[in-house]
Amino acid sequence: MNPSRSCLVMGNWKMHGNLADNAVLLAGLVAGAQRAGHAQLAVCVPFPYLVQAQQALSGSAISWGAQDVSVHAHGAYTGEVSAAMLADFGVSWVLCGHSERRALHAETSSVVAAKAAAALSVGLTPVVCVGETLSDRDADNADCVIADQLEPVLALGADALAKMVIAYEPVWAIGTGRTASPEQAQAIHSLIRAALVQHGSGATPILYGGSVKPANASALFAQADIDGALVGGASLVAEDFLNIAASAA
């Protein structure tokens, strides 16, 4: 990690949680937030729990975000949630194009870019997720897949790119217990950085996501182009999440 850039450690709760368990987790994060040192902490929670996150985290050093956003500002789109609605709950971040959304909801890279633009239109920071499957990697096609996923996002322009975050999450390492080696992760992060530089926004943070744990966080954060982590399962355990953040020191 480049010492001139801050570290962002963001939790993605996915479809986990209930009011009682969330209260314990959020209280634990607030109580231990100072352990994160210079790392910035954030959690992306399911839509129903945004108000709980807002109430628990307001005034703390921890920000909160959503896991998805509609491309539409308003209208007859039952079940959709607009960026302006998210902003009503003090949201700072919104995940766009998580691999599970791409795979299970057929979100194309163009749709992901449109969601990022919708988030930006109301002052939210989109966290645009990219990543290859195991078959892509085995076919030595990871670089092309990442480039294709980034293309419509890069087309939004330097001003937009400067206000977003990119998260590289190799699909084969999400929830599998497998993790890209620090060198494998750095190789893709370097590719992403080069594309961002080419489009005038080399300082855009790039997070690594994929079975990040306290045991491997330090080695990942030591890489030149890894600016933090998008943490899945370990973000549901306050101690683990805080230990990951502390590894950025």
Report the distance separating Cα 244 and Cα 249, nearest Å.
10
Per DSSP, 18 falls in state -
Which of 100, 107, 132, 169 is catalytic? The answer is 169
Q: Specify burial of residue 150 (Cβ count, 10 A radius: 0-12, 13-18, 19+).
A: buried
Report the distance separating Cα 170 and Cα 102, nearest Å.
13
Which of 98, 132, 189, 199 is catalytic? The answer is 98
Say if CB 52 and CB 26 are below 8 A apart: yes
All residues at 6 or more sequence positions from 170 whose CB lies less than 8 Å from its CB, including other chains: 131, 132, 137, 142, 180, 184, 185, 188, 210
Is 72 in the active site?
Answer: no
Report the distance separating Cα 221 and Cα 182, nearest Å.
8
Helix (H, G, I), strand (E, B) or coil at 225: coil
Q: Specify burial of residue 21 (Cβ count, 10 A radius: 0-12, 13-18, 19+).
A: exposed
All residues at 6 or more sequence positions from 110 whose CB lies less than 8 Å from its CB, including other chains: 152
Is 98 in the active site?
Answer: yes
Query: What does the block give as tokens for 232?
Result: 């899945």
Report the distance separating Cα 210 and Cα 230, nearest Å.
8
> Which positions are catalytic?
98, 169
